[in-house]
Every structure is written in structure tokens, then in C-alpha cells.
Amino acid sequence: MQSKYLAPLAAAVSLALIGTAQADERYIVAFKEGKGPQVKAAAQGLGGQVKLELKAQNALAMALPAQALKGLQNNPNVDFVEADVKRYPLAQTVPYGITMVQAPLVSDAFAANRTVCIIDSGYDNSHEDLSSNSVTGSSDPTGAGDWFDDTNHHGTHVAGTIAAYDNSVGVVGVNPHGTLKLHIVKVFDENGWAYSSSLVGALNKCVENGANVINMSLGGSLKSRTEDQAFTQAYNNGVLSVAAAGNDGNTRHSYPASYNSVISVAAIDQNKAHADFSQRTSQVELSAPGVSVLSTVPMGTALVASASVGSSDFEAIGMEGSPLGSPSGALADCGTGESTCDADQKICLIARGNISFADKVLACQNGGGLGAIIYNNEPGALNGTLGEVVTAIPSVGVTADDGALMLGQLGQSATVDIGQGNYAYYDGTSMATPHVAGVAALVWSHHDSCSAAEIRSALTATAEDLGVAGRDDSFGYGLVQAKAADDYLSANPCGSGSGGNGGNPGKGKGGKK
């Protein structure tokens, strides 16, 4: 998936590498004060063509054949020469998960009759993709802060998946036209945790503010009797709660997802494979995309990354915790980065595996490297973290396929670029959950006479079966499908006796769809 947020950047050409450049490519030639006419004449005499004069910058944009580059390399009137790199229009992208759950196939024109309550870390109301939504909010009385101040970033990412606005920039959500009502309840601050009593208090706030669907991209391993009773009461009163199955990659239950009154959501990747971190339990009910999910984060807090080698541009994801920067240098193969790499003034190409991402970056840094590109050892994007380790050089992740291509370009000029942005890739069942919550609200908006139980039953009845036939502990009933559920309820209206069963769909019963 190509995205403007991973805007490709061509590598700058150093004078040492000018001789290898292809003929008649575009370059910017910066000249010393007052030496423009001499440089222009020299370049034109060698076949160069002036494309643009940048008088304020003492520079010329030129198409230069190889002989002109060689001539300029040693010209005493030239300050520097660099590639006239390409820039691309900023355009909106549709994250893969939005299409995978069939959201674009169902109109959100009626979504004003639904309210999704997001219990999380807050919501950046100034965000370019969220400010047009119909949104209200509450803050946890125990002191998490204002609901519109998201210092944790998690809640804003969740909100974007549900309702990022279709406005020609950024991303789009499951409900992209600002019709869906949102209510935000903040329970997390930068510490990233809250008490179960705060969650119950947040649930009460959601109910008081008319929530039909509650999104909880959160959880913990211990039950709470108070929570269980509260969510059961909300469900019986017509509120559909959706929660993350958990990210520990084991078979333990996570709560509130594992209460019978709550839909538990597992995570899958771009290939509809079960995410290795997603917990597998008898309570898992539905699956949704939760790997490398692109969504909104508070303005200016994201890492926007790109990589290029030679004339090739590659999509990249900045390592969480990476410093900003845009270094260039020859590309060097550093293997798996398990020892210090001889990479003085170079960009390190490193394979994933065996040691932490932070140790790989440090091996590059300690060898004099200027930046690190780590390529995956399995299909899909590489969205890594440096944890608590502080590094001095920018680092990004790329796919295994792109890593293989780069291995064929060793020695060429490479650039790693990391800057600030407004969108980020996150992994987790937390990212899968808002796909389901958003779809539930979208489908329900077309069938507003249905009960919460009937909507829930329709979602499970029409999910795309994944894994073994029928319900299983990894995928539940399968991948949530908005269009299929909408069609199902149109053919089997609620209250007709042939639609939803009106009760618990039988979490963990293992029945076939």
C-alpha cells in the first residue's frame, strides 16, 4: 500500500558518487556567490540544460548528462550538487483494514442515529482527520485529564479507525463522513493504565451519553465481578460492548473482552493470518485487522519514514523511539547486526532476527553508520520498536521483499528519512477492536430497530470463516464483514423470526456458521 505518509524520497547525490549517475537526470547545482554565469556556461558547454534558476539560493536546476556531472565535480565555482529529488502530491489513503471489513460497501449516511463511545486515552479534536466529527466527551473523575488531550496517543489512533474523515488527506475510517456520533471517555493518561472502577465509571458515562456501541481497546488478565455485572446490565439495556482479546499471544482470557456480554476481538494481518500476539481463547468472537494499522495520532507526534536506494524508493516504517533525521550514504550489508558493522559514514542494511531491533541499530551506530534499514524475515511490513534504548541514528523497517531488492543495490547511495507526521502504524488487538465497533455501528445504522443482541448475532453469522471450519479460538467466527451483515439483516429483518437470535451467540460453543 503506497501512502503519502510514506512519501518516497530520492537519495541525495554526493560528489563522490556523481560519476555513477545516469545521463540527463535532474540535479540542483549550487554555485558560489557571483559565479552563476560561469557555472551555467560550463554546464551548458557539456550538454547540460537549465530547467529553473533559483537566484535567491544561488542555484540552478539542470538536466545533466554524465560528462557534465564529472566536469562540475571539480569545478571550483561549484558549492555542491545534489539530486533534484521528486515530491509527490499529498493524497488520502484507505488503510487495508477498512477495505477488508467491507466498510466502503456500506453507506454511513444514516450513522447519525448511532453513537460509539470510545473508552481510551482521549481524542485529538484538532486533528485534520477528526475535527469534523460530531464528538463529545467526558473525563475520568480520578484524574486522567481532559478527554481532548491525548498524551498517550492510543485513543486518537482508535478513533481514526472508527471515524477518520473522508476529506482528501490522511486516512479514512469505517464511518468516514462525519455522520456517526462519538463520545470520548478518557481513563488513560501517559502512564497507560486505569483501575477497573474507572472502567465501570466510564461505562456509566457512555450509557448516560446515549452510546449504542462501546469500544474498549484495553484489558487485563483478572476478572472483576463489578465489571461483569455492569457490562451485563448495559448489554441487557441495549448497549453493544466490544473489547480487545489481548496481546500476550497465549490462551489466557483478557477482561472485559471475555465477559459473555462483550464481543472479544482477535487480530489478523494483511493476509488474513492470525497475528502471533493475539490471544486465543474460547471467548474470541470476531477477528479484524490489527497488524500495521495506519490511523490518526495527535498532530505532529508520529514518525513519518521513507527509504531510498539509488533511484528506487521504498515504503518504510520508522522504528518506535527512533530520532528524526535524513542521513545519506553508501548502502552496506550488516547481516543480522549481531556484531559491530564496518559502516563508517554508511547506511546499514540489517536482517531481522536473533537479537532486538535496538541492538541491531546500536551495532550500526557503533560501527560509524549514519542510519539503519532493517528488513523483515517474514511477509508483511516491519513495524518495530527500540523499547527504552536511546539511539543516535534514524532507523526504519521495510518488507522482506524490499530488503532482498536492496541487497542487490549494495554500495549505491541510500537515504533514511524520518520526520514528524500525523499518522502512525500500530499493531495490536487494540487496533482490531475499532474495526468491529465501527462496523457494528455502521450496520446498525441501517437497521435501527434491531437490538444489540440481534446486531451481534448478524455480525457473527456473516463473518468470513478463517482457520478451521466453524468457530475456533484463534479467529472466533471469523473476519467481520459489514456488507454481508447488512445484506443478511435486509433479507432477515429483526423481529421477523428469521433474523438475529436475540441472545448471546454462544461464545466458545464451537458451532459452525
Is the alpha carbon torsion for 27, 33, 34, 38 positive or negative?
negative
Catalytic annotation on 427? no
Cα–Cα distance measured from residue 237 to residue 296, given in angstroms and rounded to the nearest whole number:
32
217, 278, 430, 457: the catalytic one is: 430
Question: Which residue of the set 127, 153, 154, 253 is catalytic?
Answer: 154
Residue 84 bears catalytic tag: no
3-state secondary structure of 155: helix
Q: Please tell me what DSSP assigns to residue 18.
A: G
Q: Of 120, 129, 140, 150, which is the active-site residue?
A: 120
**Spatial separation of the C-alpha atoms in residues 267 and 264, rounded to whole Å:** 10
Is 183 one of the annotated active-site residues of the chain? no
Q: Residue 363 phi/psi, 5° resolution?
A: -60, -40
d(CA 42, CA 177): 56
Give the CA distances from residue 72 to residues 32, 33, 45, 344, 352, in Å, rounded to whole numbers and listed in that order: 13, 16, 11, 26, 41
Query: What is the separation of C-alpha 342 from the centre of its chain, rounded to a whole number of angstroms?
Result: 33
- Evaluate whether 365 touches 348 at the Cβ level (below 8 Å): no
Question: In the chain, what are the helix, strand and coil shares in percent, each to the nearest 5?
Answer: 25, 25, 50
Measured between alpha carbons, how far is 58 from 286 in angstroms, rounded to an integer?
Answer: 61
Cell numbers standing for residue 242: 466490544
Contacts 24+ apart (CB under 8 A), 39-48: 39/72, 39/75, 39/77, 39/78, 42/71, 42/72, 42/75, 42/77, 43/68, 43/71, 43/72, 46/71
Residues with a known catalytic role: 120, 154, 430
